[in-house]
Amino acid sequence: MNEFPQLNSKLSEFLIYLAELNRTGEEKLPALSDLSEELGVGVSTIREQLQVARSMGLVEVKPRTGIRTQPYSFTPVIIKSLAYAVSINKDYFISFSDLRNHIEAAYWYQAVSKLTVEDIQYLKVLINNAKGKLSGQPIQIPHYEHRELHLTIFKRLDNPFVTGILEAYWELYEAVGLNVYEDRAYLKTVWGYHQQMVEAVETSDYLTGYQALVGHMDLLHKRIKSESQTLFE
């Protein structure tokens, strides 16, 4: 039973049912005809509400396994909303990037204090791989390493809303073409900041790491603003 029954007015019949099912730990849903009878709404209505749940990443529908609930993730909803916003006005990505910067800064100390020795070693591997790519001829853009480094730093927070915002940022970062920027000097500066961050975290010098993070964020935000005209053409 939902302990906040007033929330039901914000949800469809199917989402209310899905939330109750999720709380019990059940994964598999009955057929649409059975759901229609149980919820007292038509099959066509259930089908429409199911599509909404799929777009939110709340259920998975496969031919052989049927309909199954999925672990809650904030990411799918943000990605769709942000992609729509940026298609209307490219400056929305600049605003979202600014939000992401503030979130990483706000959660920095909490996030890095939870990292394990294995996490830090992985971050060092990412930095070495990125430096190798940047030193090659021709240059290889270490986008995978860039995304992995930032998401790894914040992965121990156990906060699906922070994770959702950060993951959505990287999805749109790729979609608008920021992952193909090839200025070697700029990229080496970025990875210099990354190395400072990880080295500081390894020695528990979280303030120095925070300062490197902020320096990196300022650099990226200025770049996005200066190139906004060409990035979204």
Q: What is the pLDDT of residue 64?
A: 78
Please compute Rg for the chain using Cα positions. 21
Interval 12-60: pLDDT, tens = 889 988 988 888 888 899 888 999 999 999 999 999 999 999 999 999 9
The mean pLDDT value of the chain amounts to: 88
In angstroms, rounded to a whole number, what is the distance separating the alpha carbons of residues 185 and 187? 6
Position with higher pLDDT, 148 vs 227: 148
Domain ranges of the chain: 5-69, 75-231
Statement: residue 231 has pLDDT above 70: no
Q: Check residue 74 and give its pLDDT.
A: 95
Give the tens place of pLDDT for each residue, 149-189. 999 999 999 999 999 999 999 999 888 776 666 678 888 89
The per-residue pLDDT for range 96-136, each reduced to its tens digit, is 999 999 999 999 999 999 999 999 999 999 999 999 999 88
Sole residue written with tokens 């993951």: 167
Q: What is the pLDDT of residue 125?
A: 98
Is pLDDT above 80 for 228? no
Look at residue 180 in the predicted model and tell me its pLDDT.
Answer: 61
Helix axes of 160-175 and 91-112: crossing angle, nearest 10 degrees: 140
How far separated are the first and last CA of the chain, in Å rounded?
50
CATH number for the segment(s) 5-69: 1.10.10.10
- CATH homologous superfamily of 75-231: GntR ligand-binding domain-like (1.20.120.530)
- Residue of higher predicted confidence among 232 and 78: 78
The whole-angstrom separation of Cα 175 and Cα 129 is 23
Q: Is the pLDDT higher at 67 or at 113?
A: 113
Query: How far, in Å, CA of 225 to CA of 231, rounded?
Result: 10
